[in-house]
Structure 1
Amino acid sequence: MSDTPTAPVIPRHAIAGGLILAALMLQILGFASLSPAPHLVGYGLWLATALLWVDIPARTRRQAGALVVIGLGLLVIAALRYGAAIDWPAILDGNTHVVAMLVGVSFIGLIGRDQGHKRPPGQAVMGSRGLAGTWLGVHLLGAILNLSTVFMVGDRLARRAPLTTPQLLGLNRGLSSAALWSPFFASMGVVMTLAPDMRYTGVLAFGLPLALASGLLTTLELSQRFDLTDTAGFSLSPASLLMPAGLAGLVMLFHYGLTPSLSIVAIITFLLPGVALASNLPAGPRWTLQRVHRHTLTRLPAMRGEISLFLCAGLLTRGLSTCIAAATGSEWTLFAEFGAWEAVVSFLAIVASAVAGLHPIIGVSVLASVLDLEASRHTLFACVALAAWAVGTSVGPLSGINLSLQGRYGVSGTLMMRENLRYALIMAALAVAALLTMEVRST
């Protein structure tokens, strides 16, 4: 049985799939400074999105279209009203690195199948124990592999049946809570840039207890709200952990040994397709090319929902951050001093903005731009940013995890926000208490 197409492929789907694959290859070449021209990755992905636009579900299309209109409008306002210098050729670059990673992660589907035959899903762990396994598996592995873990675990669970709300919430909370402490998350990378004098030990002491609380809260709350009897969870058995743990080990090898200058996101982008190709090569080059060809014609165009949302959200982020920076300038300071209560107000404001649809990176970046922080306050700022990121991405409809779940599994972003509101309120209260306690201990 070959992995060649069995049904006619729509020509524009084939072209779009080729553009997405080309964008991935250009992104990988860019890691070695071999990209032939800047912005080609963004142009290729946006052109593919345009070709696939009519196939995107109407709800997703409306949301993506609104993001584009608002983002472009804010850029125009920044240019015309505030005289901001806009790099117009680069406005389509937002989130392209994340989209390239998602495309690279999609090649996981080519790993471990015996010439096109799907392996049975095997025995699953059911009930609250299974839900706890889902949270813990995504949390621990996601701390290294980031968003790719959600797809590995989610796709494994989806082999049995379409994912249920408790399963989706377990995936969401398992990953988002890892932002509280993981040194490999984008959140930590942003925070290290904005607060270079932070103490990681202080962040770890703040974030790990909150992450544990997230796991306990998820298991207890969802066990009370839903009947989990028939809800399958992720097994933490060695067989289930073999592939993700092996990939995590490879990521660590590249990050600390072979390519220390590259981010985790960049390493995942080229490593997962490479592992997929290597796993197929023993069956022969022809078989490997057939599988990549099939993947390009079918799976990559099917990613249109998540690709469009990430690209359009990136344009919104660029427009909003540019407009805010142009409007506020660099002279104004939000607080004369940054203490416990200022930290609490800042945390709550960023979470509220995430509920309103803004990614926490916007709130964190804006906050950093209007503060004049002493070095001794960097750790407190880092804790505010990481806690707001963890809580905000769990509940925010435009966060990376919720955009991915929406694009991959068809769940409504509004549903995820509504189902996570109680969780977000409790986690926010715990974070506020932790911030106040942390500041008391430092005085």
Structure 2
Amino acid sequence: MQETTSRQRLAGVLILLGLMAQVVGFTGWMATIHAVSYLLWAAAFLLWRDIPRRSRIQAGVLIALGASMLLVARFVYGAEVDWPAMLQGNAFVVAMLVGVSFISLIGKQGNKGTAGQRVTGAGGVLRTWLGVHFLGTILNLSTVFMVGDKLARRGPLTSPQLLALNRGLSSAALWSPFFASMGVVLSLAPEVEYTQIALVGFPLAMLSGLLTTLELRRRFDLREVDGFSLAPRSLLMPVGMAALVMLFHFWLTPSLTIVSIITFLLPGVAVLSNLRNGPLFTLRRVRQHTLIRLPAMRGEISLFLAAGLLTLGLSTLVSAAAGTDWTLFAHFGTPEAMISFAAIALSALAGLHPIIGVSVLASVLNLRGGEQTLFAFVALGSWAVGTSVGPLSGINLSLQGRYGVSGYRMMRHNLLYAAVMSALILVAIAFLATWMNA
């Protein structure tokens, strides 16, 4: 078992308590949002020194900017600021991420049996992309390590393998309801029509896989490049979880959002799946997850919480300085959506996580009706492109830490891919805007 300090273990317990408080809040028995935010921020504080330097600087800047804007809004413009609630931004998105992490407890550790016979060539690259994409819709970043480690057993990972891992996961942001990207946009635009997003985003994601296969076949000799052979039974879990989420959303708990359902459903299923081996076994696995896996989420937890504070600070300052009626765009239509997508995607090249651009954009918009769905698609599209090409995105930093590949090298290899995907997303934006106005 990986060694952790008492400080890290305490942080893991606080994160778990934050998740539990969020689930209790869903019942309506008591309001727990203050408790959720305070517990998660306390954990982030305890883990602050363990966060990689670049991520720590980025989160620190966001926190300083958000807090400064709140102070300016209060003492320069006289705005009313709910100080006890200032830490609530993105707290429930972080709780969802914590809940999703428990899915790794389903089945045996290591996910044995997910790989079949050896495959190479363009077909192997495509299978790697498909495996990471569909398993990643539920397992998120852990899928990259699961698949990558299996491929690495036959030798150091090559550029085509790394790019398939990168693009397979990042493209899932276009449609997966279990991704942090979806959690963020549903929190910023609660009236989103997810069905419309999925009907446009899923085909785009499939085009990403086709583009990846064709491009890598043209650029590299793939004859000896190993791929990941996805066994059909490996898809049962993602498909089953998606079906359960839809069951709760439409029939059992229709008053709860998809983000809320995922937050309590995935940990619940994970615990129930382990109980067949006995309560002591289940307790051991939950304890190990709490003390090791949850503190390891320090980077994403701190970034999401910091971005939430920035969003609150910016929106409060803008309202105080320009009035509540001011908005960046009077109407959020096709041109505005395209400009917003381009700005967020380009900011990712400069090293900013897409959540920053998405949060800033949401804070200066006054979205109505179908505009929320269009905004959501812009956010998801820029997230999918930005995390694939951004040198400081979570997936590229993870690939760098695990397999030693430079984030800037990944950026260079992904520039053409990002350009083509951006063009496709711009077309999809125009289509979606026309569809909603029809």
TM-score tier (shorter):
0.7 to 0.9
* Distance in 2, Cα, partners of 1:405 & 1:325: 40
Tell me the amino acid that sits aligned with residue 53 of structure 1: W
> Contact conserved, 1:179 with 1:188, CA < 8 A, in 2?
no
The amino acid across from 1:82 in the alignment is Y
Letter in 2 for 1:427: M
Counterpart AA for 1:56: I
The partner residue of 1:56 within 44, 51, 55 is: 51
Match of 1:302, SS? helix
Q: Give aligned-pair identity as a percent.
A: 56
Distance 1:163 1:257, change over 3 A: farther
**CA contact under 8 A between 2:25 and 2:32: conserved in structure 1?**
no
Counterpart-to-counterpart distance in 1, 2:277 and 2:372: 53
2:231 matched residue in structure 1: 237
Q: Is the 8 A contact 2:70 2:316 kept in 1?
A: yes
Call closer, same or farther: CA 1:334–1:234 in 2, change over 3 Å: same
Task: Please name the residue that 1:78 is paired with.
Answer: 73
Amino acid at match of 1:308: S
Partner of 2:149: 158
Report the Cα distance in structure 2 between the residues aligned to 1:408 and 1:322, rounded to whole angstroms: 40
1:119 aligns with 2:119: no
Structure 1 residue ranges without an equivalent (≥5) = none
Are the aligned partners of 2:315 and 2:363 in contact in 1 as well (CA < 8 Å)? yes
Deviations 1:72-126 (A, max 9, x none): 223223333333322222222222222222222222332212xx78736643544
- Residue of 277, 285, 305 corresponding to 1:291: 285
Length-normalised TM-score, structure 2: 0.78
Q: CA deviation at 1:45?
A: 1.6
Question: After the TM superposition, which of the residue ranges 410-419 and 119-128 deviates more from structure 2?
Answer: 410-419
Query: Do residues 90 (structure 1) and 81 (structure 2) align?
Result: no
Tell me the number of residue pairs that the alignment of Structure 1 and Structure 2 aligns. 427
The change in CA–CA distance for 1:343 and 1:235 in structure 2 (over 3 A counts) is same
Q: Kindly state the Cα deviation for residue 25 of structure 1 after the two structures are TM-superposed.
A: 0.9
Q: Are residues 1:315 and 2:309 paired?
A: yes
Please identify, of 286-295 and 230-239, the stretch whose mean Cα deviation from structure 2 is larger: 230-239
Q: After the TM superposition, which of the residue ranges 167-176 and 77-86 deviates more from structure 2? A: 167-176
C-alpha distance in structure 2 between counterparts of 1:267 and 1:378, whole Å: 21
Q: 2:44 is paired with a residue of what secondary structure?
A: helix
8 Å CA contact 2:8–2:295 kept in 1: the answer is yes
The aligned residue for residue 358 of structure 2 is 361
* 1:60 positional shift: 2.9
Q: Which amino acid aligns with 1:155?
A: M
| Residue 14 (1) aligns with residue 9 (2) | yes
Per-residue CA deviation, residues 133-182 of structure 1 (Å, 9 max, x unaligned), is 34345555666x4xx44434643443553877655544554455455566
Report the Cα distance in structure 1 between the residues aligned to 2:253 and 2:107, rounded to whole angstroms.
26
* Residues 66 and 314, structure 2, Cα contact 8 Å, conserved in 1: yes
- d(CA) in 2 for partners of 1:315 and 1:332? 21
Output aligned runs, 1:243-262, within 5 Å: 243-262=237-256
Task: Quote the Cα distance in structure 1 between the aligned partners of 2:91 and 2:310.
Answer: 13
Distance 1:428 1:93, change over 3 A: same
One-letter code of the match for 1:362? S
Take 1:62 and 1:324, find their aligned partners in 2: how far apart are those partners? 25
Q: Is the 1:94–1:311 Cα contact (8 Å) retained in structure 2?
A: yes
**Structure 2: 5+ residue stretches without partners:** none
2:286 matches 1:304: no
State the Cα deviation string for residues 269-304 of structure 1 (Å, max 9, x = none): 222222222122122212221222222222222222
